[in-house]
Amino acid sequence: MSTWNYTNKREFILMGLTDSKEIQLVLSVLFLLIYLVTVLGNIGMILIIHLDVQLHTPMYFFLTHLSFLDLSYSTVITPKTLENLLTSTKTISYMGCFTQMYFFVLLAGAECFLLSSMAYDRYIAICNPLHYSVVMSSKLCSALLTGSYALGTVGSTVNMLCMGTLDFCNSNVIHDFFCDTAPLIALSCSNTHDIEFIIFVFAGSTLLLSLIAISTSYMSILSTVLKINSASGKQKAFSTCVSHILAVTIYYGTMIFTHLKSNKSFSLGKDQVASVFYTIVIPMLNPLIYSLRNKEVKYAVIRIIKKREIALDN
């Protein structure tokens, strides 16, 4: 069986989501609108937190970087997807494909650990409020953030080293809309058993460790909240966690469905729908979830607008 690699064939073909021109046009308009909302929502969240001094807290420090990660990994995927939907050119270079995959895995992994850090922040805020400012120091916040990016980088590098050993036989057609691990492994003619195992272990470890941290934090939070006598006190405590719980549920649900299974079992239907959801839709949802359900963000917007009006009047 003949093989091709970077030395003799320098591009892949991304088949995308559909062959129908009409559906491609509809998807291109939909994805463009989603991407614009994603960019505006996440940049808006970053600017609001930066401009309002009252939001300069550990929780919003992490939220700033969550918005940055969402904006970044959406940008890694969506513009190329739009290009493929709007033009007849469906190709992506060998290096472009692996670069896209590398940064996507890095950013997605970093987001898993960042969500864990946010859960720990909520745990300290609710279970140990008197020592919150001492425990959640700027030094610890920076260490948690650095650790999130570092662990994401390690996982992505291991993934890239494994994928770089694959041979691709006869076909360079990727049956997906972006370069992800599963469709590339499904395309390979190499014996992928060991590679699949290594990738599964690293992806599973990332999800498992971050989920353990989140679950442990929220079990402690639940135990503490149940001991609060007043209903208003319980509601206030839960309200600080609702946005994060919702974001975690959506993100991890689609990630687990897509990645924690054999990559050879990749299917064009349900797997692509899940991929669209967590690569394109979720980055748009997070700023909406945190802004619409967060009174502090709403009040911050009002304060910024009032300051702006006063500055214009003067």
pLDDT greater than 60 at residue 260: no
pLDDT tens for residues 148-182? 999 999 999 999 999 988 888 777 888 888 998 88
Can you give the pTM of this predicted structure?
A: 0.87
Go through the domains of the chain in sequence order and give each one's CATH number: 8-313 (1.20.1070.10)
Q: What percent of the chain has pLDDT over 70?
A: 91
The pLDDT tens digits of the residues spanning 92-132 come to 998 999 999 999 999 999 999 999 999 999 999 999 989 99
Return the HEC string of the chain: CCEECCCCCCEEEECCCCCCHHHHHHHHHHHHHHHHHHHHHHHHHHHHHHHCHHHCCHHHHHHHHHHHHHHHHHHHHHHHHHHHHHCCCCEEEHHHHHHHHHHHHHHHHHHHHHHHHHHHHHHHHHHCHHHHHHHCCHHHHHHHHHHHHHHHHHHHHHHHHHHCCCCEECCCEECCCCCCHHHHHHHECCCCHHHHHHHHHHHHHHHHHHHHHHHHHHHHHHHHHHCCCCHHHHHHHHHHHHHHHHHHHHHHHHHHHHHCCCHHHCCCCHHHHHHHHHHHHHHHHHHHHHHHCCHHHHHHHHHHHHHHHHHHHC
